[in-house]
Amino acid sequence: MSGAKDYYRVLGVGEAATVDEIKKAYRRLAKQYHPDRNPNDAQAAERFKEINEAHDVLSDAEKRKKYDRLRRYGAFAGAARRGPGSGAPPAGGDFDLGDLGGLGGLGDLFSSIFGRRGRDEAEEAVEIAVQVPFRVAALGGQVPVTLALSEVCPGCGGSGAAPGATVSTCTECRGRGTISFGQGSFAVNRPCPVCRGRGKLPSVRCPTCQGGGEVKVDKRLMITVPPGTDDGARVRLKGQGAKGRGDIIVVFQVEPDSFFRREGHHVVCVVPINVAQATLGTRLKVRTLDGHRVVLKVPAGTQHGQRFRIAGHGIEKNGRRGDQFVEVRVDIPAKLTDDAQAALREFADKAGLRH
Return the domain boundaries, the chain.
Answer: 3-114, 126-166+203-254, 260-351
Q: Tell the CATH superfamily of the 260-351 domain.
A: Urease metallochaperone UreE, N-terminal domain (2.60.260.20)
- pLDDT score, position 40: 78
Parts of the chain with a pLDDT under 50 = 1-4, 77-122, 184-185
- pLDDT score, position 199: 85
Angle between helices 19-33 and 42-58 (to 10 degrees): 160
- pLDDT score, position 324: 96
Tell me if domain 3-114 and domain 260-351 are identical in fold: no
Instruction: Supply φ then ψ for residue 168, to 5 degrees.
Output: -125, 165
* Torsion on CA atoms 253, 257, 261, 266, rounded to nearest 10: -80
Give the span between the Cα atoms of 105 and 55, in whole angstroms. 24
Q: Give the DSSP H/E element, type plus range, for residue 52.
A: helix 42-58
Give the span between the Cα atoms of 224 and 256, in whole angstroms. 19
Write the pLDDT tens digit of every residue in 129-166.
Answer: 999 999 999 999 999 998 888 888 888 888 888 998 88
pTM recorded for the entire structure = 0.54
- pLDDT score, position 293: 94
CB 70 within 8 A of CB 64: no
- pLDDT score, position 217: 87
Give the span between the Cα atoms of 291 and 168, in whole angstroms. 66
Q: For domain 3-114, which CATH number applies: 3.30.710.10, 3.40.50.720, 2.60.40.1260, 1.10.287.110?
A: 1.10.287.110
Which CATH architecture describes the domain 126-166+203-254?
A: Sandwich (2.60)
